[in-house]
Homo-oligomer: A and B are copies of this chain.
Amino acid sequence: MPVLVMKFGGTSVANLDRIRRAAKRVGVEVAKGYDVIVIVSAMSGKTNELVGWVNETSPLYDAREYDAVVSSGENVTAGLMALTLQEMDIPARSWQGWQVPLKTNSAHSAARIEEIPPENINAKFAEGMRVAVVAGFQGISPEGRITTLGRGGSDTTAVAFAAAFEAERCDIYTDVDGIYTTDPRIATKARKLDKIAFEEMLELASLGAKVLQTRSVELAMRYNVKLRVLSSFEEQSDDAGTLVCSEEEIMESNVVNGIAYSRDEAKMTLISIADRPGIAAAIFGPLSEAGVNVDMIIQNISEEGRTDMTFSCPTDQVARAEKALQSAQDSGEIDYRELVADTNVSKVSAVGIGMRSQSGVAAQMFKTLSNEGVNIKVIATSEIKISVLIDRKYMELAVQALHDAFELDKAG
């Protein structure tokens, strides 16, 4: 029988009622003839409670023990989901990561999946079991210890299972009903997309769209796993939610498919820094070591051996960045006159695979912002994305104006 993977996040299994509701959704797919693999998160709040205990016990914790403790929440949900399905007369059983086994490397708390042998679960499907409920987020290391996959780990588990079992689709049930052209809280005209390409989803995810983790989208793209994002809180039709799939399966598409934003960005400028070969490494090496996520980088033309260097990073990393640069200055690795931090900027981005084949998108974006009187401070582009830094007070205005300009309220 064809296999379907269904993943339910923490809010979708927050209590016994919601687990029953999710189980009913599983029952619908079983009735259609699918063998289903259900990936569950911990009941919402449970993982945070466990993480809190670990942090309070041991601030610099042994990640192996952290994983052993934190993974327990998913085990509870997996068992309860299996019991709920059994109550509905659907043959089901639970699997913990080590039972599958979902084999990972030994990078505790951020482990990479290495292999999911499908034999054990397939043997049970062959015996008539219809649903395998798997505790998400966890695996087993070569040393036989429990590992966890890090943030968004259950999404990644779901996609990896879909790849290993050549599932027809991987449905991610969450608390939103799909991927939108932009944040509906900012632009009321925001429209749910029926389909979006992996590449676009990746850009949106890395820009802060919280629905899917970058890592799970990457994995889906690599193995060409069709991902569907949909709400566990609404009655579902067969074409509910948003399908994240390869470009080839999207017949028509707008040039721009999404407007993303990141509210709390900072623009940092090193003024009059002594320029020499290797200067970029001397600046960004220490920043990286200090855990600063540098996003955009701009270097001015060098004059008389000195230049200005501008970069952006999240606001809450400014202090860390200042400290790292000051200490590089003190040790003589770099030599700058002044460091100026502008912490009142936001990033707004237009994303769309259509940009590849259509020119003028950047020009239209700049013109739109100019018409609204929004000054652009930094520009960065990729093949399918244009990002600008602007004053934070204009952020909502910019998102709305760009959404209108690229006619995102109309289907492509």
Contact = CB atoms under 8 A, between A and B. Distances in A.
A300 interface: no
A50 B72 CA distance: 12
A80 B69 contact: yes
Given A56-B16, A65-B86, A84-B58, A75 B76 contact: no
Contacts of A71: 75
Given A16-B53, A58-B83, A58-B87, A94 B76 contact: no
Contacts of A84: 57-58
Interface residues of A, number: 36
B98 A82 contact: no
A390 to B, nearest CB: 45
Number of identical protomers: 2
Contacts of A16: 53, 56-57
Question: A interface, by DSSP: helix, strand, loop or mixed?
Answer: helix
B54 A80 contact: yes
Interface in A67-94: 68-69, 71-73, 75-76, 78-80, 82-84, 86-87, 93-94
A402 interface: no
A144 interface: yes
Contacts of A75: 68-69, 71-72, 75
Given A19-B57, A53-B16, A69 B79 contact: yes
Given A57-B19, A58-B84, A72-B72, A79 B99 contact: no
Given A16-B56, A16-B57, A96 B68 contact: yes
Nearest to A19: B57
Given A16-B56, A57-B83, A84-B57, A50 B76 contact: yes
B65 A99 contact: no
A65 B78 CA distance: 9
B57 A87 contact: yes
A297 to B, nearest CB: 40
A34 interface: no
Given A98-B98, A99-B144, A62 B76 contact: no
A102 to B, nearest CB: 14
A65 B131 CA distance: 14
A93 B65 contact: yes
Given A54-B83, A64-B93, A75-B75, 10 more contacts: A50-B76, A53-B76, A54-B79, A57-B87, A58-B83, A62-B82, A65-B83, A68-B75, A69-B76, A99-B145
13 contacts: A16-B56, A16-B57, A58-B87, A62-B82, A62-B93, A65-B93, A68-B78, A69-B75, A69-B80, A72-B72, A72-B76, A99-B144, A99-B145
